Amino acid sequence: MPATNTTSRYGAVSKTFHWLTALGILVVIPLGIIANDLPYDTADQLADKAWLFSLHKTVGVTLFLVALARILWALSQPKPTPLHPDRKVETVLAETVHWLLYGSLVLVPLSGWVHHAATEGFAPIWWPFGQNLPLVPESLPVAEAAAGLHVVFERVLVVSLVLHIAGAIKHAVVDKDQTLARMLPRRRIAQTVTTQTRNGLVPAVLAVVIWAGALGVGSMLGVYSKGSAIAAEGPALQQVESEWAVTEGTLGITVRQMGADVSGSFADWTADIDFDDTVTDGQAGTVDVEIAIASLTLGSVTQQAMGPDYFASQDFPTARFTADILKTEEGYRADGVLTLRGVEQQVRLPFALTLDGTTAQMQGSTSLDRREYEIGAGMTDESQLGFEVILSVDLIAERASE
């Protein structure tokens, strides 16, 4: 079988690309549906879900590269002419569907890849070239928008695929012509002479209009910003009267999941700080920090982190850290007890302190072992979810006026 196309038949390379793409679509779409529908209430379920999503993403990226190669090959080859050039409307519709298929084969995996690159954590692509994309930041709004685009483009792909298959069946069963046979392997096709039909840009323009319409429907349905990665709702903490009032600050955590660091922060927390900046050695004050667990945002695993196997925010809505503030030769540290998920553990938090009149800037971090708090107890494989959790604090506080 010749490798290249002619105006009456497809060559071996085009056929190989066609059926390889078809196989990829038949694999990647069911994988995505199954992975998306799987529960993730337990550690084992989350691990299974992540594994299937990794397979889905890996096949998707492969399909994207195959689609690009297929398009480049198609541009270099003559296209077999329609067997029924007199059926102008049918020919235009067929070419429009082809435009939709080619475009969707690029847009679906590309939007999924952008979503992956913009999201921290969960289900890596199985390849050695990294997980990021140039110019794509790790950003929840970008991830949500890309996820919505992925859904919309995937729906266009499915509809186009159904129309393409229906057209092929119609040619084989109703018209009984050689349209389908042209793409089947090892089939000898009689040379036919047909008039070249030129539809110009009409099919391409129609395809763009359909994509624009699909994007508009997606916008009306709100698929580009569902807020699914935003922290769960929880009761707001009561404000506290403190000698030092926190005016701004970040209470963050970093975990390692599937070989990648995933960082997040708590949006709602309070600090009651009693501190004497004149103390040069020994206890300089106390601190009492209360944290609303449900205010955590942690990349793509925010909602999973709230589940019963992890932070269990429904049963344990708050965490508390009460400590003495000590001034030593090495600097400052807070020594105390962190109560999390009903478990109390001693924690030491070294920190740097900069004083400027009545303003104090504090930065510190410490590491915790999640297993000591029974978080992710079923995740015993450290390569899936690291045991160490980095807790970081960065705040600015103002001394209350006397």
**Across the 402 residues of the chain, what is the mean pLDDT of every consecutive 10-residue run?**
87 95 96 90 77 95 96 92 86 94 96 91 85 88 92 96 95 90 76 57 94 95 68 67 92 88 91 93 95 89 84 93 95 96 97 94 97 90 90 94 64
- Burial of residue 189 (CB within 10 Å: 0-12, 13-18, 19+) is middle
Q: What is the residue type of 65?
A: L
What pLDDT is attached to residue 165?
95
pLDDT at res. 353: 95
- HEC-encoded secondary structure of the chain: CCCCCCCCCCCHHHHHHHHHHHHHHHHHHHHHHHHHHCCCCCHHHHHHHHHHHHHHHHHHHHHHHHHHHHHHHHHCCCCCCCCCCCCHHHHHHHHHHHHHHHHHHHHHHHHHHHHHHHCCCCCCCCCCCCCCCCCCCCCHHHHHHHHHHHHHHHHHHHHHHHHHHHHHHHHHHHHCCCCCHHHCCCCCCCCCCCCCCCCCCHHHHHHHHHHHHHHHHHHHHCCCCCCCCCCCCCCCCCCCCCCEEEEEEEEEEEEEECCEEEEEEECCEEEEEEECCCCCCEEEEEEEEEEEHHHEECHHHHHHHCCCCCCCCCCCCEEEEEEEEEEECCEEEEEEEEEECCEEEEEEEEEEEEEECCEEEEEEEEEEEHHHHCCCCCCCCCCCECCEEEEEEEEEEEECCC
Which residues in the chain are classed under CATH 2.40.128.110?
244-399
Q: What does the block give as tokens for 281?
A: 């050695």
Residue 130: other Cβ atoms inside 10 A: 10
CA angle 129, 133, 136 (to 5 degrees): 160
Residue 232: predicted pLDDT: 46
User: What was the pLDDT predicted at 139?
Assistant: 83
Place of tokens 């604090």: 393
Query: Looking at residue 226, what is its pLDDT?
Result: 62
Burial of 195 from C-beta contacts in 10 A (0-12 / 13-18 / 19+): exposed
Task: Phi first, then psi: give them for residue 195, nearest 5 degrees.
Answer: -75, 130
The CA distance from 46 to 53, in Å, is 10
- pLDDT of the residue at 229: 41
Q: Which residue has the tokens 């910003």?
A: 225
- Please give the pLDDT value at position 197: 56
Q: Does domain 244-399 have CATH number 2.40.128.110?
A: yes
66's CB contacts (< 8 A; 6+ apart) are: 17, 20, 21, 24
DSSP bridge partners of 333: 326, 350
